[in-house]
Amino acid sequence: MTPMADFVTVAQANEIQPGERIVVEISKKWVAVFNVAGVYYAIQDICSHDGGDLADGELIGCEIACPRHGARFDIRNGRVMSAPALVDIPSFEVRVLDGQVQVATARTK
Q: Tell me: the pLDDT tens digits for 20-73?
A: 999 999 989 999 999 999 999 999 999 999 999 999 999 999 999 999 999 999
Burial class (CB in 10 A: 0-12, 13-18, 19+), 13: middle
Range of the domain at 18: 7-104
Q: Is the CB of residue 75 less than 8 Å from the CB of residue 64? A: yes
In a domain? residue 109: no
* d(C-alpha 79, C-alpha 73), whole Å: 6
In a domain? residue 2: no
The reply to whether the predicted model has a pTM over 0.85 is yes
The CATH number linked to 46 is 2.102.10.10
| Number of domains the chain contains | 1
* Letter string b/e over residues 49-65, b meaning 16 or more CB atoms within 10 A of that residue's CB: beeeebbebebeebbbb
Q: In what order do the strands lie in the sheet with 29-36?
A: 21-26, 29-36, 39-44, 91-92
Look over the chain and give the mean of its residue pLDDT values, rounded to a whole number.
94
Q: Give the pLDDT of residue 2.
A: 43
**Percent of the chain scoring above 90 in pLDDT:** 90
